[in-house]
Amino acid sequence: MEEYKKNDLVKVTIEDIGSEGEGIGKVDGFTLFVKDAVPGDVVTAKIMKSKKTYAYARLEKVETPSPFRVEPPCKFHRQCGGCQLQSLSYAKQLEFKQNKIRNNMVRIGGFAPEFVDGIMEPIVGMDEPLRYRNKAQYPVGTDKEGNLITGFYAGRTHSIIANTDCLLGVSENREILENLLEYMRENKVTAYDETTGQGLVRHVLIRKGFTNGELMVCVVINQKCPKENKQYLPAQERLLARLTELPGMKSISVNFNAENTNVILGREVRTIWGEPTIFDMIHVRDMKTEGYPFTGDSLTFKISPLSFYQVNPVQTEKLYSLALEYAGLTGKETVWDLYCGIGTISLFLARKAKQVYGVEIVEQAIMDARENAIRNGISNAKFFVGKAEEVLPEYYEKQQGDEMLHPDVIVVDPPRKGCDDACLETMLKMHPSRIVYVSCDSATLARDLKILCGGGYELKKIRGVDQFGMTVHVEVACYLSRT
Ligand code: SAH
């Protein structure tokens, strides 16, 4: 077999999708990874980087389009790279995600394919896979001609491509961004330049509460937070005049970040108009009924520019309702919710449990969780700051003989890297009747499930929830019972 050289043109039929959304095709046993090509396409691809048995190639031309190929709704999708699946029909996107979870369970988790097929429920898709994000963070900068722009970083670079209307975000973003740019132009306000460290405006953060349409704008500037209250932006009132009249506007603030860093937000925020926070509600849904109707129960959450909050509120309701269903609570249980963030899942659980304990590493999130409990009239949820893998073993020691601390159910919702071994070990020692695992990475989930199933648990049900349409990411909820 000939090895391919850079810039060779190859005709290939795309048969599969890789984990990063790239099309995969084979020519004479040689595997090609072709970004932007979708299964069913016959394409001409240009080799970029070749190895012995596989190569990375760029899509040159679609010779015969796949029946699953659709016109990508965003004209920037190739440059941006944020939406890897935009050229694929939404039904196929869901199929890809369902298979991704299934394959990880088989390959990494070591479960038999028939077993997985028997317990896996159909993925929960979105009704509308665009405009679902309640949060947008646009960098502010200049284009090659020196014009002020907001947009997105091209691929993995730091050059900004102008765009005021990412289609995953809400349509209000555009007017807010255009008004900010106009204000900057009129008043000669500069944009931050990360190569020189000069310039004022770095980013704009926009959040919307989907339940009641409240909008929050936070302008991140390259300055330290001054001690006394003063004008933080030049001719600040002119920016306010432009923004405060927009329907739904509730909160305008400035965030201070004078560090040379990729981190977007600094620690301090000053409200310059309106309220310091907005509110949103998360409703409990009935996941067993088609259309997932509301059950009538809901929780209210306070959102500040710095607080963590799920970015797709509609799908979050479905994911957490599923976690709640999987917890199988009757009102008598003690539940531990590890990696609890601002207590979203914990508070859902508290309504149906005797007692909930939440554990989270970020102190501010725990402060928010406690406040959210009070706001929602929940008194049976207690929160601890610390690492799950440290707090849980500590309470395991204390728990001996203390019925109150012994978990009937443990819920975990860790970041991508999954649960720490010490945490999994203690979970096994605490032997709850059920474990509910919510995950944003089915590969680390499969790895952890293998450990839990090796330690006396059986996987009972697993289901994907698409929180991030157009991208390759997918959330998963599952539960295990003690055998
Ligand atoms: N369940 C939460 C958030 C889940 S995201 C919600 O519904 O909003 C994962 C959370 O785990 C983050 O809040 C992160 O700060 C926290 N975290 C990361 N590592 C942790 C650890 N070792 N112990 C406890 N929490 C951790």
Question: 301 and 375 share a domain?
Answer: yes
Q: Which domain holds residue 245?
A: 135-276
CA distance 253 to 247: 17
Task: Pick the last residue of a domain from 64, 93, 111.
Answer: 64
Quickly list H helices, 400-469: 421-430, 442-454
Q: What mean pLDDT do residues 76-93 have?
A: 92
Predicted confidence (pLDDT) per residue in 362-409, tens digit: 998 999 999 999 999 999 999 999 999 999 888 888 776 666 678 999
Cβ of 415 closer than 6 Å to ligand 1, yes or no, is yes
What pLDDT score does 19 carry? 84
Three-class secondary structure of residue 161 per DSSP:
strand
With left for phi above 0 and alpha for psi between -120 and 50, is residue 28 left, alpha or beta? left
Question: 436 and 373 share a domain?
Answer: yes
In a domain, 328, yes or no: yes
- The CATH code of the domain that includes 378 is 3.40.50.150
pLDDT at 1 over 60: no
Q: What mean pLDDT do residues 139-148 have?
A: 94
Question: 345 and 368 share a domain?
Answer: yes
CA distance 305 to 68: 39
Predicted structure pTM score: 0.93
CA distance 229 to 473: 42
**For the chain, first and last CA: distance in Å?**
51
CA 127 to each of CA 94, 101, 124, 132, 272: distance values in angstroms, whole numbers, following the listed order: 12, 21, 10, 10, 37
Cβ of 319 closer than 6 Å to ligand 1, yes or no, is no
Q: In the chain, how many domains are there?
A: 3
Closest CA to 12 of 43, 46, 48: 43
pLDDT at 176 over 80: yes
Predicted confidence (pLDDT) per residue in 15-52, tens digit: 999 988 899 999 988 899 999 999 999 999 999 999 88
- The CATH code of the domain that includes 270 is 2.40.50.1070
Task: Pick the last residue of a domain from 222, 252, 276.
Answer: 276
Note if 440 is an active site residue.
Answer: yes
Q: Which of 41-55, 147-161, 262-276, 298-312 has the lowest mean pLDDT?
A: 147-161
Mutate to test the pocket of ligand 1, among 303, 339, 342 (most ligand atoms within 8 A of CB): 339
Predicted confidence (pLDDT) per residue in 210-243, tens digit: 999 999 999 999 999 988 877 899 999 999 999 9
List the residue whose alpha carbon is closest to atom 16 of ligand 1: 339
Q: What mean pLDDT do residues 69-96 have?
A: 93
Ligand 1 centroid to 248 CA: how many Å?
A: 30
Q: Are 302 and 269 in contact (CB under 8 A)?
A: no
Strands 355-360 and 409-412, bridge-based pairing: unpaired
Question: 264 and 399 share a domain?
Answer: no
Residue for token digits 């710095």?
306
With left for phi above 0 and alpha for psi between -120 and 50, is residue 372 left, alpha or beta? alpha
CA distance 162 to 322: 39
Phi, psi of 435 (to 5 degrees): -125, 130
